[in-house]
Amino acid sequence: MDRTLIILKPDTIQRGLIGQVLQRFEQKGLSLGAMKFMKISRDLAERHYAPHKGKPFYPGLIDYITSGPVVVLVLQGNRCIEISRTLMGKTFGFEAAPGTIRGDFGASRSYNLVHGSDSPESASTEIALYFKDDELLEYSLASSGWVYPKDDS
Ligand code: IDP
Ligand code: MG
């Protein structure tokens, strides 16, 4: 089962867009493996964004992601990393295509509403930062057979 870590960043919460952003992932057919509402500490933010340490936008990124509550989710489903990144759109809101989360709701470089893991390796590292193994629920949605055909080659 493929898994990815998604964060609805502080701007999503402050702008009242939790439902609309969550709906994009839900209506695509991905299933929720875990979800929590929390405030990210600076220590956790620094671990999460360690690959960006030293970049000019890093201090602002840490301030942003720790500035208010976030919703952290694990999504499950075949190709969920790729699917989620496509739904999110390009990093900068002003470049992201209409129809994507960032393209529909974002206008800046930094305040881009969502985080999504970019590879299986980063997904497993990131999931472990936020959830214990026994918090990840495995089940199948009644609709999954109509989202993912058995033979999809
Ligand atoms: P991603 O979120 O699309 O994977 P990354 O390059 O991993 O993009 O950057 C992590 C986050 O850092 C972005 O989502 C955005 O919030 C912020 N960020 C990236 N590049 C810039 C920049 O040039 N200026 C300001 N913030 C940036
Ligand atoms: Mg990234």
What CATH number does residue 73 fall under?
A: 3.30.70.141
Distance 54 CA to ligand 1 centre (A): 13
Mutate to test the pocket of ligand 1, among 61, 62, 64, 105 (most ligand atoms within 8 A of CB): 61
Checking if the pLDDT of 152 tops 90, the result is no
Q: Check if the beta carbon of residue 85 is closer than 8 Å to that of residue 6.
A: no
Q: Is the dihedral of CA 82, 22, 96, 117 positive or negative?
A: negative
Checking if the pLDDT of 146 tops 90, the result is yes
Q: Is 19 among the domain residues?
A: yes
Mutate to test the pocket of ligand 1, among 112, 117, 118, 121 (most ligand atoms within 8 A of CB): 112
Checking if the pLDDT of 1 tops 90, the result is no
Mean pLDDT of the chain: 97
115 is catalytic: yes
Instruction: Identify the nearest ligand to the CA of 111 by its number.
Output: 1
Q: Is 10 among the domain residues?
A: yes
Q: Is 107 among the domain residues?
A: no
Q: Check if the beta carbon of residue 96 is closer than 8 Å to that of residue 109.
A: no
Distance 65 CA to ligand 2 centre (A): 13
pTM as predicted: 0.97
Q: Is 32 among the domain residues?
A: yes
Q: Is 109 among the domain residues?
A: no
pLDDT digits (tens, 9 = 90+) for 69-107: 999 999 999 999 999 999 999 999 999 999 999 999 999
- Parent domain of 55: 3-81+116-132
Q: What is the pLDDT of residue 68?
A: 98
* Strand ranges across the sheet with 31-38: 31-38, 70-76, 3-8, 114-116
Q: Is 67 among the domain residues?
A: yes
pLDDT digits (tens, 9 = 90+) for 97-134: 999 999 999 999 999 999 999 999 999 999 999 999 99
Number of structural domains found in the chain:
1
Q: Is 104 among the domain residues?
A: no
Q: Is 29 among the domain residues?
A: yes
Q: What is the pLDDT of residue 151?
A: 85
